[in-house]
Amino acid sequence: MPPSRRDLLNTKKGFIVHKAVMEVVTVKDILAARELIQRFIKLTPVLTCSEANRIAKRNIYFKAEHLQTTGAFKIRGATNAVMKIKSKYGLDHPGVVTHSSGNHGQALACAANVAGLPCTIVVPKGSPSCKVEAIKGYGAKLVECFPSPTARVETMEKVCKETGQVFVSPYDHADVIAGQGTIGLELVEQIPDLDAVLVAISGGGLASGIAMAVKSVRPECKVYAVTPKGKMLEDCLRAGERLWPNPPQFLDTIADAIKLQQTGFNTFTLLKELAEKNVFEMSDEEMIEGMRFSFHRMKQVIEAAAGAAVAAALSDKMASLPAEIKNVAVILCGGNADIDNFPWYDSFKKAY
Amino acid sequence: MPPSRRDLLNTKKGFIVHKAVMEVVTVKDILAARELIQRFIKLTPVLTCSEANRIAKRNIYFKAEHLQTTGAFKIRGATNAVMKIKSKYGLDHPGVVTHSSGNHGQALACAANVAGLPCTIVVPKGSPSCKVEAIKGYGAKLVECFPSPTARVETMEKVCKETGQVFVSPYDHADVIAGQGTIGLELVEQIPDLDAVLVAISGGGLASGIAMAVKSVRPECKVYAVTPKGKMLEDCLRAGERLWPNPPQFLDTIADAIKLQQTGFNTFTLLKELAEKNVFEMSDEEMIEGMRFSFHRMKQVIEAAAGAAVAAALSDKMASLPAEIKNVAVILCGGNADIDNFPWYDSFKKAY
């Protein structure tokens, strides 16, 4: 059950705060994040496509976070975290660290570079050199580690101890969630009468931030998570419990940006309250079709995680949702696809 | 030499008409075209990219005609031609015909469909089925012909005779030139203090229409043509004569949208007056790099002809232009790249 209006608490500014989750992040944090980061990030446009509307049988609005600085939404949360540190401690602070060779690693390096704070990125050995070069380009220090979830955390903790740098989690950090939530504020301003949001989920920072923001303005708006196969999110949301096996696993998916099986702890608290239990699970083939639709029809380069959300919007499941869900936002979360290795060329490679 | 102010004649509306070419198309035709077509086409956005500005050492504005209806600018001219026929003769007219399996064929089929007029497209045998299907999707009649320039014209003329349909040339038609020129009106409105335009050229309808529109408002603005190797356009413009060998040839280029060696006759009259003699000739490799830059940095899917204009903007030649050329428009003329066959995968194919 989505939270009813009885669970909601009005604030003086007309926003609505969800009681159960306000200890993690509130809409006030998201409003403050917008204030802090808006000079550094882009207000991304919302794109439309008549063919998508026809297939989904409703109005689909694609939020173009693939056109965001660094090519993904991650810069929002990273900038919020870094700028909060800077405004509190100034430039004497030892800086920030994270473990990620992906979009969050680049985003944190970029945000720290803009802020003028030191930054270390723990990168698994064997990461693609283009990604490593991009991080270096932002002046961050790179530390290599063995490519396993455990080694990443251990190396990061060692860096924290030695340097005093603060860990900025890719998702389970209040400032990161609040930063990503600024997308939700933009959605309700850019899209008239928003009824639903489709958002791909990994650790859950993006989905929970957006849900918090959107539902504070329009509590009746539904937020649907989109995941790779094997995520078990629907079971967990329905049970209201973390049913995932431990230690944490990576899913077998082409979408490396959403390969975590487990969400974060804070984000799960938010999602239990705010997200629909009805989850869109997409196969690799469907994600590829979503990417191809975006390339072919919308002329937009998106990565597989964004392709998952597009595929969800074009799925039979979407078309069969009640007609009163008229206006649907689809988050194009990132555009950092490897242009030398689009996934639909795999079968092609095999043929040669 | 670009036309001096002495060659220019002021009209009452503050637009300037170039005497020598006003018998072909005037800015009034372009203003009328905008009035007629604006309900049917998109006012495409102008995109920016800090990395492009850095490389070109000036402000680059990418005009996103790849996001236009049918994925290319061609719909502007086609709609203008078709809607003029409809407004003059109503729906009793036998309709329109052209020979093209490319962007103009799709555009004319789409425009005729919207207008409710019959349309025939002469398509060379062996055209890619995706393009043929798109044309069929707009309800046009398809007539196959032998794949040679001469057979295309002969088949088209036969259709004209048998049906009474009117030939709408892809480029050498006053209404088509005026329609493409509406891009120029948008450019001077969207870009502050426009100093130059880079535009890929084949038959010349786009380049001459834009030049006419832009120079009517800002006569000092330079219009640079971008071509594949072997086009001979710079020699022709400098000589003021058509030096091309006959019969007309196709160039050996990956950019099928700009493979004509010769421009049209009307368009050449306009270009001699309005375009810079200094032409940007780009190799296939440079066009591919232009496409890759757009995919990688701007997340925009563009076809090779648009890649040529991007490559020109990023070239040493551009960087060495006088610093007073500050604001440069680059026309992203189309986005109809074959997503199963991006040209940089060719070497890749060979490797497997």
Q: A340 and B340: CB-CB below 8 Å?
A: no
What is the pTM assigned to this prediction? 0.91
Residues 6+ apart with CB under 8 A from B223: B196, B197, B199, B207, B210, B211, B214, B215, B274, B275, B276
Cβ-in-10-Å burial (0-12, 13-18, 19+) of A167 comes to middle
**Residue A2 DSSP SS3:** coil
Looking at chain A, which residue has its C-alpha nearest residue B48? A67
Which of A67, A345, A352 lies at the smallest CB-CB distance from B299? A67
Alpha-carbon gap, residue B272 to B207, rounded angstroms? 11
Residue B134 lies in a domain: yes
Which of A292, A302, A345 lies at the smallest CB-CB distance from B345? A345
Q: Are residues B46 and B108 in the same domain?
A: no
Q: Note the pLDDT tens digit of each residue in A5-56.
A: 333 333 334 454 444 455 678 999 999 999 999 999 999 999 999 999 999 9
Which pLDDT score, from 0 to 100, does residue A29 have? Answer: 96
Task: Give the pair of three-digit tokens for residue A21.
Answer: 């989750």
Contact call for residues A113 and A139 (beta carbons, < 8 A): yes
Interface mutation vs chain B, best among A67, A106, A299, most B CBs within 10 Å: A299
| Contacts within 8 Å (CB) and 24+ apart, B21-24 | B21/B212, B21/B269, B21/B270, B21/B273, B21/B274, B24/B174, B24/B177, B24/B266, B24/B269, B24/B270
State the smallest CA–CA distance between residue A251 and chain B in angstroms: 26
Residue after which a domain boundary falls, among A167, A183, A211: A167
Whether A272 is catalytic is no
Q: Are residues A60 and A114 in the same domain?
A: no
Task: Give the pair of three-digit tokens for residue A317.
Answer: 């499941």
Angle between helices B205-217 and B27-37 (to 10 degrees): 110
Contact call for residues A108 and A78 (beta carbons, < 8 A): yes
Question: Could you read off the pLDDT tens digit of each residue along chain B, which spans 352 residues?
Answer: 343 333 333 333 445 444 445 567 899 999 999 999 999 999 999 999 999 999 999 999 999 999 999 999 999 999 999 999 999 999 999 999 999 878 999 999 999 999 999 999 999 888 878 788 889 999 999 999 998 778 888 999 999 999 999 999 999 999 999 999 999 999 999 998 999 999 999 999 999 999 999 999 999 999 999 999 999 999 999 999 999 999 888 899 999 999 999 999 999 999 999 999 999 999 999 999 999 999 999 999 999 999 999 999 999 999 999 999 999 999 999 999 989 889 988 655 555 4
Q: Are residues B163 and B187 in the same domain?
A: no
Can you give the CATH number for the domain in which B243 is found? 3.40.50.1100
| Domain count for chain A | 2
Residues of B with a known catalytic role = 74, 101
Q: Are residues B129 and B184 in the same domain?
A: no
Q: Are residues A56 and A132 in the same domain?
A: no
State the residue for tokens 């005779």: B161
Residue A343 lies in a domain: no
Nearest to B76 by CA among B63, B92, B57: B63
ipTM of the complex: 0.90
Task: Give the pair of three-digit tokens for residue B311.
Answer: 């490559």
Give contacts of B342 with chain A, Cβ < 8 Å: 339, 342
DSSP letter (8 states) at residue A106: H
Residue A342 lies in a domain: no
Angle between helices A174-190 and A74-89 (to 10 degrees): 120
Q: Are residues A131 and A90 in the same domain?
A: yes
Q: Are residues A241 and A282 in the same domain?
A: yes
Residue A217 lies in a domain: yes
Beta bridge partners of B10: B16
Arithmetic mean of pLDDT, A89-106: 93
Residue A52 lies in a domain: yes
Which of B292, B299, B342 lies at the smallest CB-CB distance from A300? B299
Residue A308 lies in a domain: yes
Nearest to B267 by CA among B324, B208, B326, B185: B208
Q: Note the pLDDT tens digit of each residue in B288-321.
A: 999 999 999 999 999 999 999 999 999 999 999 9
Give contacts of A66 with chain B, Cβ < 8 Å: 299
In the set A63, A74, A86, A131, the catalytic residue is A74
Q: Are residues B63 and B88 in the same domain?
A: no
Q: Are residues B192 and B310 in the same domain?
A: yes
Which pLDDT score, from 0 to 100, does residue B347 have? Answer: 55
Amino acid at B240: G
Which pLDDT score, from 0 to 100, does residue B348 have? Answer: 52
Range of the domain at A263: 5-72+173-332
Q: Note the pLDDT tens digit of each residue in A220-251.
A: 999 999 999 999 999 999 999 999 999 888 89
Residue after which a domain boundary falls, among B167, B191, B207: B167
State the smallest CA–CA distance between residue A290 and chain B in angstroms: 13
Q: Are residues A160 and A217 in the same domain?
A: no
Q: Are residues A240 and A327 in the same domain?
A: yes
Residue B214 lies in a domain: yes
Which of A292, A299, A345 lies at the smallest CB-CB distance from B71? A299
Residue B338 lies in a domain: no
Q: Are residues A219 and A311 in the same domain?
A: yes
State the smallest CA–CA distance between residue A27 and chain B in angstroms: 31
Contact call for residues B172 and B203 (beta carbons, < 8 A): yes
Alpha-carbon gap, residue B223 to B126, rounded angstroms? 36
Contact call for residues A59 and A327 (beta carbons, < 8 A): yes
Count of A-B CB contacts under 8 Å: 50
